[in-house]
Chains A and B, each alone.
Chain A
Amino acid sequence: DGGITQSPKYLFRKEGQNVTLSCEQNLNHDAMYWYRQDPGQGLRLIYYSQIVNDFQKGDIAEGYSVSREKKESFPLTVTSAQKNPTAFYLCASSAYFWRELNTGELFFGEGSRLTVL
């Protein structure tokens, strides 16, 4: 079945460590996104990528990095510079960037919960 796979589901990190969250899609979508979800808050955009080898900062990119070397993969690295990294991270994709921004048609993964000890 086509979809978006995020791993790991749960991750624990010590302060000062970098961690990388995986996001893989087999939907042949051009655009991919990373969101952060905190209790009582709406989803906030971290980074997005319209096509391979291109990505743009979202609203809360500080302390995060991404790469888009392959169409199906968009990993997110949470660096030690991120002051409050404990959160639920959601990866999403859409067939086309601009069209889906107008329709909001995003397909989400199951999420990764990161906890900093």
Chain B
Amino acid sequence: KNQVEQSPQSLIILEGKNCTLQCNYTVSPFSNLRWYKQDTGRGPVSLTIMTFSENTKSNGRYTATLDADTKQSSLHITASQLSDSASYICVVSATGGNNRLAFGKGNQVVVIP
């Protein structure tokens, strides 16, 4: 079964500090990987997409990396702000006829002043 595992489950960081979220997947054959940000009580919003040939992609203070060989991705948040408090969800797509996206459980980030 295709699975996506995220760590840490939750973390608390001070405003202005950096943090890194991890996503390990077993989805095969791999198509692409997206990171979504979900504010509490809201719908997820896409942050970035990583395809097989991409190693790094940035979106403002968010930088995603992908190692397709080890099937790992990370999301780095630089100079965190209070508005970064949210759940970050890793979503992996497989090629072929699976008809499903594989969702991680999310990394819950709380930024405190």
Return the CB mask of B40-81 against A: 1 if under 8 Å, else 0.
011111100100000000000000000000000000000000
Chain B nearest CB, measured from A47 CB (Å): 12
Question: Given the complex of chains A and B, what is the CA–CA distance between A69 and B58 in angstroms?
Answer: 40
Chain A nearest CB, measured from B8 CB (Å): 13
Q: Which residue of A lies closest to B3 (CB)?
A: A42
B49 partner, pick from A56, A90, A105, A109, beta carbons under 8 A: A105
A104 partner, pick from B41, B93, B106, beta carbons under 8 A: B93
Interface residues on B, range: 20 to 34
B92 CB contacts on chain A under 8 angstroms: 104
| Interface: A84 (CB within 8 A) | no
Q: Which 6 A-B pairs have the closest CB atoms?
A: A108-B43, A42-B103, A104-B34, A43-B103, A104-B93, A42-B105
